[in-house]
Amino acid sequence: MKFKWKLFFSYLLIVLIPFLAAERYLTSHLKDRMLQQIEGRLFKEAVLIKTIIEKDYKNRSPSYEIDALIKKMGKEIRERITFIDSRGTVLGDSKIAPDNLQNIEDHSGRPEFIAAFKSSHGVAIRYSTTLEIDMMYVAVKIAPGGEFMGVVRLAVPLTQIKDLMRKTEYSLAMAFLLCAVLILILNIVVSKRLSQPIEEISRTAEEISKGNFDVKVYPGVRGELGALGRSINLMASEIKKRVRETTQEKETLQTILRGMSDGVMVVDSEGKIVLINSVLEDLFHGASTAIGKTPVEALRNADLQDGFAQVLDKGETFNTELSVATPEVDKIFDVTIVRLSPQYRTEGAVAVFHDITDLKRVEKVRRDFVANVSHELRTPLTSIKGYAETLCDADIEDVSTVRSFSQIILKHANRLSALVDDLLSLTRLESQSAVLMKKEIDLRDVLDASILLVKPAAETKGITIETESIPEKIMVWADRGQIGQALVNLLDNAVKYTPEGGAITVSVTDAGKEVHVTVKDTGIGIPREDLDRIFERFYCVDKNRSRQMGGTGLGLSIVKHIIQGHGGTVWVQSELEEGSAFSFSLPKEQRHKT
């Protein structure tokens, strides 16, 4: 639609809509005003009739004989009057013959009767089934001495109001039509005069958008439109100059981007990839085929696509982390997207991909470690503090209670001590500051000693510990104390997670240059999805159960680092509810570092 027609219809709507609203308001207001006046007059007349009835029927109940009084008063005020007793029976009506009164239906459900009964009076506007016209009803309650006698109701037809409203609407409609014709004529003239210079400016702007920067605007008017035309002419000259500069800058920019050490992706104003530097090609293995595609088509990442869309639309810098699966390993990139030239929306945007995979891995390890240590320390400390405060504040004379609280405090203190010891051991092992006193030792002796340490706990639960296929003498190159600690940790775990009456089997296998040791139990087992993480620090399949059994969550991690420090490996086989088998390897002879 052309501008002049848009202007024409805009002016037409601006004038006609308020006029229509005013017409609707005036009609509604006039109607409400007339209804209020009629209601007020009927109410005054009803109160007067009420006074007369109460006087004539003092100390007696009205009956159909009241119809004569109603008809007499109806003639005097020239309104329809109805008397309805307390049961809803019509005993008198100025417009109905006396013989027909007994055939009138019960009026107790009429809204004006109900309203008058509940308060002093009631008003209703509805269709009268008796007279077959719209009526206004005003009912007044008659209750001399507080005893409800009935209601007197006055009614008037609303045909006069409808006729008056119809005439009023007709007059307003004619005025509206006359105004519409005048507005239409004036609107055509004004719209044509105002639209001509704007259309000239629009044609010039369209030519400029096609790249014709030599076109000029001649609007032929003064004022704001004339100033706009001159501004567009100046803008065309500036754009022509900027295009030349941008072409030169683009060549320089491409050279810089190709020389960057981080990955770089450039998109045009439509969000299509126009440049990927050599670093990004190496990261994504042949991503140069993505030229001409959108980022989501090239890398299958919706967040990256949304980032480019936001930058191109709003010009705001966008930063996100992008996880990309590569053939070697999943990589994480810190991606920053900015518009190349914020003052020009047509220039596109550039994204810089910085590899932060190693940084994220280190950060996750640190975060998990701090969270787990804090959690493991908080539980025993809370218990110690709670029972200690109870002992200090309460006047406890029962020695058994004091002893019980002290034992609980000691239990949690021992758990804290064990946790700290395990943390220190794990720290020494990870930092390789612990000196391993490796020498040729008999693994059979270490196994026997380790089994003796955990045997009391096993016997308490009725668990048997057996050895299987263990030679009398098994020589390995290892630190006796460290290997003993690893074995005790594995055996202790087996006892903790094996139900009463279960069995634990320790076996040794000669694997040439290595010896394989396996600790197998008939315990609760480990879910398959947790097997890959079971040797992580503080990782527990069931944290609540592990905490109840006094575990620190560091035992298996310590085992892993001890075995790795000896040049061996550790692994596990387990099925849920079918037990677990933890194994590790140790060298038979000293291994020299290469």
| Cα(519)–Cα(561) distance, integer angstroms | 17
- Would you tell me how many other CB atoms lie within 10 Å of the CB of residue 383? 16
The answer to which of 2-6, 301-305, 451-455 has the lowest mean pLDDT is: 2-6
State whether CATH 1.10.287.130 applies to domain 361-428. yes
Range 3-163: architecture per CATH: 2-Layer Sandwich (3.30)
Residue 294, Cα to own-chain centre: how many angstroms? 28
For the cut 50, the answer to whether the pLDDT of residue 383 exceeds it is yes
The pair of three-digit structure tokens given for residue 580, joined into one six-digit string: 């677990």
422 has a pLDDT exceeding 50: yes
Dist CA 158 CA 31 (whole Å):
11
Rounded to the nearest 5°, which phi and psi values hold at 6? -60, -40
What is the b/e burial string over 422-448, where b = at least 16 CB atoms within 10 angstroms of the residue's CB?
bbebbeebeeeebeeebeebebbebbe
**Segments of the chain assigned to CATH 3.30.450.20:** 3-163, 259-355
Taking the C-alpha atoms of residue 237 and residue 231, their distance in angstroms, rounded to an integer, is 10
* Whether 581 contacts 572, CB under 8 Å: yes
Question: 259-355 is classed in which CATH architecture?
Answer: 2-Layer Sandwich (3.30)
pLDDT at 268 over 70: yes
> pLDDT by residue (tens digit) across 306-358?
888 888 888 888 888 888 776 666 778 888 999 876 555 457 888 888 888 77
- pLDDT score at 162: 75
What does the pLDDT read at residue 350? Answer: 86
Q: Where in the chain is the domain with CATH 1.10.287.130?
A: 361-428
In the CATH scheme, what is the homologous superfamily, with its name and number, of domain 436-587?
Answer: Histidine kinase-like ATPase, C-terminal domain (3.30.565.10)
Domain with CATH 3.30.565.10 in the chain: 436-587
Q: How far is CA 493 from CA 91, 484, 549, in A?
A: 99, 14, 10
What integer pLDDT is reported at residue 152 of this predicted model? 93
pLDDT, residue 176, reads 75
- In this predicted structure, the answer to whether residue 513 has a pLDDT above a threshold of 90 is no
pLDDT tens-digit series, residues 178-203: 877 787 787 777 767 766 677 777 77
Mind listing the pLDDT tens digit for each residue in 51-82? Answer: 888 888 877 778 888 888 888 888 888 888 99
DSSP state of 130: T
C-alpha distances (whole Å) from 446 to each of 283, 438, 449, 479, 590 are 50, 14, 5, 10, 18
The token duo for 458 is 């096993």
**Model confidence band, residue 143 (pLDDT cutoffs 50, 70, 90):** confident
pTM of the full structure: 0.39
Number of Cα atoms under 13 Å in the Cβ half of residue 269: 7
What pLDDT does residue 570 have? 92
- The pair of structure tokens assigned to 519 is 């600790």
Q: What does the pLDDT look like over 548-562, one tens digit per residue?
A: 555 556 778 888 888
pLDDT band of 580, cuts 50, 70, 90: very high
For residue 427, name the pLDDT band (cuts at 50, 70, 90): low
- CA 237, distance to chain mean position in Å, is 49
Distance CA 568, CA 403 (A): 47
CB 426 within 8 A of CB 558: yes
Structure tokens at 525: 């087992």
Contact 375, 291 (CB under 8 A): no
What average pLDDT is seen over the chain? 79
CA dist 410 → 138, 406, 488 (Å): 89, 6, 23
Residue 284 in this model has a pLDDT that exceeds 90: no
The region that residue 432 occupies, defined by phi over 0 for left and psi between -120 and 50 for alpha, beta otherwise, is left
Check residue 373 and give its pLDDT. Answer: 63
Q: Does residue 378 surpass a pLDDT of 50?
A: yes
Flag whether pLDDT at 462 surpasses 90: yes
**Side chain identity at residue 133, one-letter code:** I
pLDDT beyond 90 at 105:
no
Q: Strand pairing of 503-511 and 464-468? A: parallel
Query: Quick one: pLDDT at residue 594?
Result: 41
Percent of the chain with pLDDT over 70: 79
Cα(270)–Cα(167) distance, integer angstroms = 62
